[in-house]
Amino acid sequence: MVGSNIVNCIDALATMMKYSMNRGGELVTLKEELQNIYSYIYISNCRYGDRLRFESDLDESLQELYVVKFILQPIVENAVLHAFKGMDRQGVILLYGDIEGDVLKLYVEDNGTGLTPQAEEQLHRPRGKVTGIGVGNVNARIQSSYGKNFGVRVYNGAAGGTVAEYTLPILREGDHDEKDTGC
């Protein structure tokens, strides 16, 4: 069983490497972005002992929409590295979303400890020194690709944990031209 686990971890790592090195463009489907996250979570569980669960509640039609590559994984990684410290229960990360008006709204929510006041303050500063670099980079990539009306904001959830809320344009196959999105 251990050998199988190592092989599966290596396969997941190879999948992530292939995804990150693919020069096919900066826009990918949400389905492709999800597959990368599942590989990341699998590797994290190999490392941390199955203490994480990732769930996606995205309708299949949303999974065919296009987004800038690597805008979800850094937020999931932040949850893995920071949200579950000191917890004695399984960490759960949930991705959900829908089309609201003329934008795609995505949410990455965890059941972790939430943001400390200091972390929350750093997130709202331009490019904090340690906390918030990943969030700031993701937000900057979204805004440079789509404009200032789009981005990600992070806040404490009503029931605890942390929520990352994305506001993105709705891009379907054939609707986008990578030159027009800045990608």
The CATH number of the domain holding residue 167 is 3.30.565.10
Tell me the per-residue pLDDT of 94-153, one tens digit each, with 9 for 90 and over.
Answer: 999 999 999 999 999 999 999 888 887 777 665 544 445 688 899 999 999 999 999 999
CA 123 to each of CA 153, 163, 179: distance values in angstroms, whole numbers, following the listed order: 9, 13, 30
pTM of the model: 0.84
CA 74 to each of CA 60, 78, 99, 133, 138: distance values in angstroms, whole numbers, following the listed order: 22, 6, 22, 10, 8
Q: What is the pLDDT of residue 129?
A: 42
Q: What is the pLDDT of residue 18?
A: 75
146: containing domain: 2-173
| Mean model confidence pLDDT for the chain | 85
Q: What is the pLDDT of residue 179?
A: 40
| Of residues 111 and 8, more confidently modeled | 111
Assess if residue 86 is contained within a domain: yes
Assess if residue 44 is contained within a domain: yes
Assess if residue 106 is contained within a domain: yes
Assess if residue 72 is contained within a domain: yes
Alpha-helical (H) ranges within the chain are 2-21, 30-48, 60-63, 73-78, 117-123, 133-146, 178-181
Q: Pairing relation of β-strands 91-100 and 52-57?
A: parallel
Assess if residue 178 is contained within a domain: no
Assess if residue 158 is contained within a domain: yes
Assess if residue 163 is contained within a domain: yes
Q: What is the domain count for the chain?
A: 1
Assess if residue 79 is contained within a domain: yes
Asked if 169 and 65 touch (Cβ cutoff 8 Å), the reply is no
Q: What is the pLDDT of residue 109?
A: 97
Tell me the per-residue pLDDT of 50-64, one tens digit each, with 9 for 90 and over.
Answer: 889 999 999 999 999
